[in-house]
Amino acid sequence: MTKTVYIKTVGCQMNVLDSEMVVADLKRHGYRVVDTPAEAELLLYNTCSIREQAEEKTYSALGKLRDTKARHPDKKIGVLGCMAQKDQEVIFRRAPFVDMVVGPGQLHSLPQLITNIDSGEGRQMAVSLARTDGKQATVARSHETFDPLRDPSMRPTPFQAYLRIQIGCDKFCTYCVVPNTRGPEQGRSPSEILSEARTLAEQGCREIVLLGQTVNSYRHRSEAGDTDLAGLLEQLHEIEGIDRLKFVTNYPKDMTERLLVTVRDLPKCSPYLHVPAQSGSDAVLKRMKRGYTVGDYMEMFERIERILPNAAVSSDFIVGFCGETDEDFQKSVQLIERCRFKNSFIFQYSVRGGTKAAERLEDDVPREVKAARNHELLEVQNRVAREDNEKLVGETVEVLVEGPSKKGEKSEPEAAAVQMTGRTHCDRIVVFDGNRRQAGQMLEVHVDDASSHTLIGRVRTVELVSIGIEANG
Ligand code: SAH
Ligand code: SF4
Ligand code: F3S
């Protein structure tokens, strides 16, 4: 008999990928995915700890399950992901009706934990070792993932997939929980990565996004020799069926000449680089322990401009970090104006337990000031993005079509024209009127209009068809 599972995923691309694997694994164990908690026997929450707000949302969603569990004690509730690793027993205390707490490095054990509960062993917890719990290698092993299980039906589109090349992070930026929740940095072996990429290509995937917290720091050492990201891209580039390769997130210090030249010379590599700056002030960067100055960032940025003049660069910023003055903040504004990022994700600093900033620095920027800086920085970012997108009006861009846009999804299933969405090689979002069959195709789209986040266009081949009809008529 098939069993039912509901899974809710929040957080970054790593979590989206983890949920895909969890579902693939559970399907092998006879489960079917359902869309609502009400229909499900197994309810899973794949969680994020990056900011307090993300955690509080999850705790409030869990709180709503108290009655559900009281009415249906047979339903099993599992908390997975970074919050499971960070909060561990705290989750059972705050939500005593939860049955399982499973860290991101232990997701492969989920079917066994379910069996344990079914055989009456009570609630289960599987988490990885903390940094101080053992030798580096032992801790690293406890954070391994089970990537080869792929399930195209769990992806937003079967034509695009994430592929993890790196686990964990060793940078220890003072504000960040990730080195604790995801453990030591480890590069997966090139042979595993290549075989997974071939599986994805066989499943019809055309675009692969390589994932790592500092993806361009990727390194794998073996007797056969060292592999870096550039070397890996060269090998992945050979795979037939894969048309686009992207990689996120980059660490500014590791954006080497060699990597940029590789991206330039391999046509499948997207000229799109997400390289978070976090702040435009040296004093703030130092307190964040980011390991570079604004001067270093600019040097890297100019290297990108020289080698890949048409690349789109995007960033992340934290506003209101400990000790950030108005003057510091204005330097972030200036950095956006100078670099003209394609987009920036802007976050208000949130104190995270277990980090150096929480221990040693004072969270002294008032909430209202954080909110005002967030708003101001976003306005500057939106303005430069809109201006740069407007320059593309009148041009033709190549779009990998993902599927109906949010507006298109609301159209009747039989509607002749549906608004579709896709992305350019540079990762710009494009919407156009088309039809559902175009999903997965690479189309030439003429840009008619632009906003800060979207290009609006029409498919060029439609014009060719109408010319063809005219000629025949
Ligand atoms: N590994 C990536 C990003 C990981 S987290 C990198 O280093 O770029 C994604 C983003 O969340 C970060 O870039 C940062 O801007 C933001 N972030 C991380 N910790 C935060 C915190 N404590 N408060 C607010 N934003 C945070
Ligand atoms: Fe967090 Fe810094 Fe690592 Fe990114 S590089 S995951 S911000 S510690
Ligand atoms: Fe969140 Fe963990 Fe990703 S804390 S951002 S889900 S690595």
pLDDT in tens, 170-224: 999 999 999 999 999 999 999 999 999 999 999 999 999 999 999 999 999 998 8
Atom of ligand 3 nearest to the CA of 177: 4
Closest CA to 210 of 153, 147, 162, 145: 162
pLDDT recorded at residue 461: 62
Using the structure block, give the residue that is written with the tokens 């080869």: 148
pLDDT recorded at residue 362: 98
Residue 134 lies inside a defined structural domain of this protein = no
Contact in structure between 384 and 340 (CB atoms under 8 Å): yes
**One domain, residues 306 and 214:** no
Domain stops at, among 390, 422, 443: 390
Mean pLDDT of successive 10-residue stretches along the chain, which has 473 residues: 92 95 93 95 98 97 94 96 97 97 96 96 95 88 78 84 96 98 95 94 94 98 94 98 97 98 98 98 98 98 97 98 98 98 98 98 98 98 98 96 91 84 96 93 96 95 48 38
**Which tokens in the block code for residue 240?**
């037939």
Cβ of 84 less than 6 Å from ligand 2? no
pLDDT recorded at residue 151: 81
**One domain, residues 72 and 161:** no
**One domain, residues 120 and 170:** no
pLDDT recorded at residue 471: 42
Cβ of 82 less than 6 Å from ligand 3? yes
**One domain, residues 258 and 283:** no
CA terminus-to-terminus distance, the chain: 59
Domain that holds residue 97: 3-129
Residue 449 lies inside a defined structural domain of this protein = yes
CATH number at residue 257: 3.30.750.210
Note the ligand closest to the C-alpha atom of 49. 3
Supply the pTM of this predicted model: 0.94
Atom of ligand 3 nearest to the CA of 15: 6
169 is in an annotated binding site: yes
**Which tokens in the block code for residue 64?**
């709503």
**One domain, residues 400 and 386:** no
Residue 444 lies inside a defined structural domain of this protein = yes
DSSP for 105-139 reads GGGGGHHHHHHHHHTT---EEE-PPPGGGS-HHHH
Half-sphere exposure of 353 toward its Cβ, with a 13 Å CA cutoff? 9
50 CA to centre of ligand 1 in angstroms: 7
Residue 466 CA to its chain's centroid (Å): 40
Q: Whose CA is nearest to atom 3 of ligand 3?
A: 12
Domain stops at, among 270, 302, 317: 270
Cα–Cα distance, 319 to 305 (Å, whole number)? 26
Phi, psi torsion values for 432, nearest 5 degrees = -160, 160
**Which tokens in the block code for residue 343?**
């987009």
Contact in structure between 128 and 177 (CB atoms under 8 Å): no
Pocket of ligand 1 (CB under 6 A): 50-51, 175-176, 178, 213-214, 249, 276, 278, 316, 318, 347, 349-350, 352
Contact in structure between 268 and 242 (CB atoms under 8 Å): yes
Cα–Cα distance, 428 to 104 (Å, whole number)? 30
Contact in structure between 285 and 240 (CB atoms under 8 Å): no
Atom of ligand 2 nearest to the CA of 176: 1
Cβ of 168 less than 6 Å from ligand 2? no
Contact in structure between 94 and 79 (CB atoms under 8 Å): no
Q: Whose CA is nearest to atom 1 of ligand 2?
A: 176
Show the CA angle centred on residue 374, arms to residues 370 and 298, nearest 5°: 110
**Which tokens in the block code for residue 402?**
């993902």
Domain stops at, among 341, 368, 390: 390
Contact in structure between 103 and 64 (CB atoms under 8 Å): no
202 CA to centre of ligand 2 in angstroms: 33
Give the count of domains, the chain: 4
82 is in an annotated binding site: yes
Beta strands in 139-275 (DSSP E): 160-164, 166-167, 186-187, 207-211, 219-222, 225-228, 244-248, 272-274
pLDDT recorded at residue 467: 47
Cα–Cα distance, 443 to 292 (Å, whole number)? 40
Strands 418-424 and 396-404: antiparallel
426 is in an annotated binding site: no
**One domain, residues 78 and 179:** no
Cβ of 179 less than 6 Å from ligand 2? yes
195 membership: H or E segment, kind and range: helix 190-202
Note the ligand closest to the C-alpha atom of 352. 1
Q: Whose CA is nearest to atom 4 of ligand 1?
A: 213
